Structure 1
């Protein structure tokens, strides 16, 4: 994948087809997450799509510029909207993981003309979607994991492998070493280290979910430790045009563990213009 970084704004690049409708790819917010590590396999399985992958501020491998402050989802959505304007893109679809899904929902609520359809994976925009209680969810898990990964002796490939095995993959024996190393490298860039000790951005998007007019597929790993399928169902119900798909034998990163299943589900949903 070729990459560019504008003078201001997220690093980004193109993959897949040279023309056609654009699908923006947004990664998760865990240590070392970036577009290639989160969605490289899915993009490779659907080369006919025109993919615009984006590494949000503080993630990926920025080439120039000072380390960014950690952004809230709405702040990152503003940065993404600026990138789309600079690229001359009026309306895009979005495929997003976890934190990237929050960015997509924030942009869809505030700038509905920008977003066509959204497929989000493992995103928790609010503690209790639609006011539903008694959901299986662990709101503080992400902060605890980040503190453990960057604490003590600091990041290492061994700690990254343990993180991925515990949270992101259901079958821990299949965690790929190249992905572990890519994530580790991305977690130790100057930008990543500069934001590692900052508090996690706290923003409850529950009040704006009703303004998301875009058809949205809530795609979930059956064994996601951050929240269970009951949370995913409540989120789909809270969105005006929400749909739900649960992928078995996966955890928080089903797109990495079972890319063929996720690519088929996402492609079918994003291609549906009914």
Structure 2
């Protein structure tokens, strides 16, 4: 199945604890949670469709975070967005009972995964983070190439004016998520546009969430974490990714060339191989580690 075909597939959604989720892959495979990014129209079945299709032997648990896909805008209005999403995800994992699970997470989803790993380490095995920025200054570094307000500006532009349309979605994906816009499939643009105009997506667009800085809790993330970064990510450069990997107690780094903010969509074979090797077992995970002593 191609990445585009997987993106357009209609999942069967459950909502046991207020956030939508579905399963893909082999029932006998290791459980891996998929968490999507925070851009307009992002949801679990789309962000990693091509990677999931290339690794059918895993048991993929695809989760829509509050305000995305089939999930309501917030699962816990008394908490900030990241904390509420981590709380809802913990509830889902407790209800489903798969034991400690690995996570493959993009951008916003990676920040949620890190928050969960810091607060509920018994629920998390290993984490692959793609383009995630859980803090504006990892390790206290203020000299990094980063644009923490870019996401908010892009969202305001997309939903502003006359509102969303396919041309604005293509411009957003071309400018932020794909290094080579000529490779961007029309079906991907249409799928993301449709997902960005659902009642849930429109409600989320009018409910802005303040930024949350996870710097105080990153040192508590005991799970091994592989930071995967697009070489041309406009949100932050590889220097940010390296600083984040250094900040995480068991952090590693892989930079993927010729990609921007969504390397898993533009070069899914590379991201699938990196994730598969890192998540396969502890010995392979150790192979990625760099001696920073």
TM-score > 0.5, shorter chain as reference: yes
CA distance, structure 2, for counterparts of residue 241 and residue 266 of structure 1: 16
Q: How many residues are paired up?
A: 271
1:91 aligns with 2:67: no
Secondary structure of the structure 1 residue equivalent to 2:240: helix
Contact in 1 for aligned 2:54/2:269 (Cα 8 Å):
yes
Return the match for 1:165 from 165, 169, 174: 174
**Structure 1 residues 201 and 246 mapped into 2: Cα distance closer, same or farther (>3 Å)?**
same
Secondary structure of the structure 1 residue equivalent to 2:234: coil
- The CA deviation at 1:85 is 1.1
2:35 counterpart residue number: 26
CA distance, structure 2, for counterparts of residue 216 and residue 134 of structure 1: 23
CA distance, structure 1, for counterparts of residue 15 and residue 70 of structure 2: 13
* 5+ residue gaps, structure 2: 1-8, 284-293
TM-score, structure 1 as length reference: 0.96
- The CA deviation at 1:73 is 1.2
Alignment of 1:146-161 (within 5 A): 146-161=155-170
* 5+ residue gaps, structure 1: none
Alignment of 1:168-183 (within 5 A): 168-183=177-192
2:256 counterpart residue number: 247
- The CA deviation at 1:203 is 0.8
CA RMSD of aligned residues (A): 1.4
Q: Per-residue CA shift, 1:243-270, capped at 9, x if unaligned?
A: 0000000000000000000000011001
CA distance, structure 2, for counterparts of residue 118 and residue 217 of structure 1: 6
1:76 aligns with 2:85: yes
Contact in 2 for aligned 1:16/1:48 (Cα 8 Å):
yes
